[in-house]
Structure 1
Amino acid sequence: MLLVDLREAVGNGLAIRPIRTMMNHATTELFIENLKVPVANRIGEEGKGFRYILDGMNAERTLIAAECIGDGRWFVEKATDYAGQRQVFNRPIGQNQGVQFPIARSHIQVEAAKLMCYEAARRFDAGEACGEQANMAKLLAADASWEAANVCLQTHGGFGFAEEYDVERKFRETRLYQVAPISTNMILSYVAEHVLGLPRSY
């Protein structure tokens, strides 16, 4: 694993190209060709870089899980507020079980994901192995946030697509976490192989 000073590397073997995306998330492509890096910039032992990266990804997955939990809470709160205020036939739409049950279920899913996220963070802070918990926390939180996004949009009806409510923006943003920084399918493969002991699938 090597530490690279971008100020020195850009134009000297490293090119960065921004990628426009559907949401407010800075994404770039990196092109590396004949980039010279001093041996003093090596982190840790030679040959162990990939293991270091995997360990770092546990922290990233826990962090993303926490972000998804925040998104999920935002969607639940937004849906709850709207369902309590929006009047149809002289009663709030949130009085209807068809509206309130999906919101309640989303709240439960977000809170359950939070507990796994806390366990992953606890294990990471204690220096314990946490790959299983970090992966599961990321999957649970991303799923909970995405479902909460769908519920929030559905609760708002047509207004969910209006920019003034911010639902459509957050809807697009939280969709990212089904595929990045690790896709749901990769997490399922990890759990199947490394936790359950099933044969490697790829």
Structure 2
Amino acid sequence: MNFDLTDEQLMIIATARQIGERFGTEYWRVKDAAKEYPFECWQAICDAGLTGAMLPEEYGGAGLGLVDMALMIEELCKAGAGATLAQMFMLNPVFGGVAINKYGSPSMKREWLPKLCSGEMTFCMALTEPDAGTNSLSLKTTARRNGPVWRINGQKIWITGVPQSEKMLVVTRTTPEAEAPRKTFGITLFMIDTKRTGLSHTPIEKLGTNTLPSSSVFFDDVEAHEDEVIGTIDGGWEQLLDVLNTERVVTTAGLVGAGYLGISLAVNYAKERKVFNGKPIGSYQGVQFPLAQHWAEIEAARLLNLKAASNFDNGLPFGSESNAAKLIASQAASAVIERAMQVMGGMGYAKEFHVERLWRDARLFRFAPVSEEMILNFIAMNNLGLPRSY
């Protein structure tokens, strides 16, 4: 196995680092406090050509792989953003880019992918429902054919980035669950305009990730057209899994970056802070050992995540690696950011020292986009061969 990075990957990392440092911790502190979408940062990422890393060159992309995207997300998040910036890659290169590039029509690719790469068009995905969170197959949002069009009715919840998006990937049921074949499950994906008659949304007040709003979304006879179908009618389940499995790698890359940032903030503080005998608190093993432990955990999650991304790029199964990496990264990032707050004492509770924002944001990823418990279920069944427990 070769762990060396190519010259191109080193250049990608350097570019991401420059952008990340340009929009550092203070930028994200201000945006978080104002609950403002980070338009300037995202446009800079698009202008640098990072958004379309995984998309074909003919549509404005770079024709690279998931490993390259994971590396750039790590660096961007490590420089100041923390875990929440990874969500913007979920919304656009994954929910928009992966879905359209793999399953969209030729006209979708020609018209929308260049705009995704340039930042002219942004995306979101409507999957989760009030009564269908982890169990996506129980979704109740329906799309029913009505002459030449489809009519979408239902409700979604915890949908990220809705007000700022132009397009929404909507996961619907087009055949009742009891009648749907076991292989296809009667699920269909549509890519529709967010600002469409009958589609409304309301914000959800939440603990963190304030730069990206979360919304409840309501569909009241929303019109969808045949040329807005992503993939095949009733065959959207496997297509959805392709999108969601890629999302795991992106999430983990953001958590790895956030973990490294938390360690950096704690270490810098511990080197400067002196108490009692005039020695920096970083010289005490009680401060050193927890940070060292969490560094090892973050590093392990990073390597496992890059293996998952490499498997994806080479057409190999990557579910076990991506799920396990996300499990370790979410726990380690939350733990090390909590530890950073403890190292700083009262100052760790102050917004100007940034770790409280990282702490609020990272906590989300213990249960999203997939919970620890469901990952453990997956590992128990698929890697240990144990019987299904739910």
TM-score normalised per structure 1: 0.94
* Aligned alpha-carbon RMSD (Å): 1.2
Counterpart check, 1:131 vs 2:316? no
Cα 1:201–1:20 shift into 2, 3 Å: same
Alignment correspondent of 2:193? 5
Distance 2:317 2:215 in 1: 31
| TM superposition shift of 1:194 | 2.4
| TM superposition shift of 1:126 | 1.7
| TM superposition shift of 1:165 | 0.7
User: Which protein has the bigger strand share?
Assistant: 2
Per-residue CA deviations over 1:113-158 (Å, capped at 9, x if unaligned) read 1001101111112222211111111111111101111110111111
Contact 1:106 1:151 in 2 (8 A): no
Distance 2:216 2:377 in 1: 26
Distance 1:151 1:101 in 2: 11
Alignment correspondent of 2:297? 109
Alignment correspondent of 1:53? 240
1:2-41 to 2 correspondences below 5 Å = 2-7=190-195, 9=196, 12-23=197-208, 24=210, 25-41=212-228
| TM superposition shift of 1:197 | 2.2
Alignment correspondent of 2:150? none
Tell which deviates more after alignment, 16-25 or 158-167. 16-25
Question: Which sections of structure 1, spanning at least 5 residues, go unmatched?
Answer: none
Q: Which has the higher relative contact order, 1 or 2, with Cα contacts under 8 A spaced 6 or more apart? A: 1
Task: Say which of 344, 352, 369 aligns to 1:181.
Answer: 369
Per-residue CA deviations over 1:84-114 (Å, capped at 9, x if unaligned) read 1110121011111111101111111111110
Distance 2:351 2:260 in 1: 19
Alignment correspondent of 1:200? 388
Tell which deviates more after alignment, 185-194 or 55-64. 185-194
| TM superposition shift of 1:34 | 2.1
State the 4+ residue runs in structure 1 displaced beyond 6 angstroms: none
Task: Say which of 248, 256, 274 aligns to 1:69.
Answer: 256
Alignment correspondent of 1:43? 230
Counterpart amino acid of 1:156? M
What SS does the aligned partner of 1:4 have? strand
| TM superposition shift of 1:45 | 2.1
Question: Which sections of structure 2, spanning at least 5 residues, go unmatched?
Answer: 1-188
Distance 1:178 1:146 in 2: 8
Alignment correspondent of 1:146? 334
Distance 1:5 1:195 in 2: 40
TM-score normalised per structure 2: 0.50
What SS does the aligned partner of 2:218 have? strand
